[in-house]
Amino acid sequence: MDNNIQNTNDLSPSPSERAGVRSKRVLFIDRDGTLINEAPPTYQLDSIEKITFYPGMFTWMGKIARI
């Protein structure tokens, strides 16, 4: 593993954070199939009526936002 890449599962402070340099963490999430339940049988979101969110998605996104 490249020593310059931080483990994304590790929420401990980065070396720059430990040194007092403030940085902002960023999380990129692919919404289709991750936040939004893709509707069978086509599994395509081609209309707003097909959008349904996974249960608890907003709760977990709120928790992630507060980290």
Taking a C-beta distance cutoff of 8 angstroms, is the pair 12, 6 a contact?
no
Gyration radius of the chain over CA positions: 17
Catalytic choice (2, 10, 30, 46): 30
52: part of which helix (H) or strand (E)? strand 52-53
Q: Is 32 a catalytic residue?
A: yes
- In degrees, rounded to 5, the angle at the alpha carbon of residue 55 between the alpha carbons of residues 66 and 8 is 45
Q: Cite the active site residues.
A: 30, 32
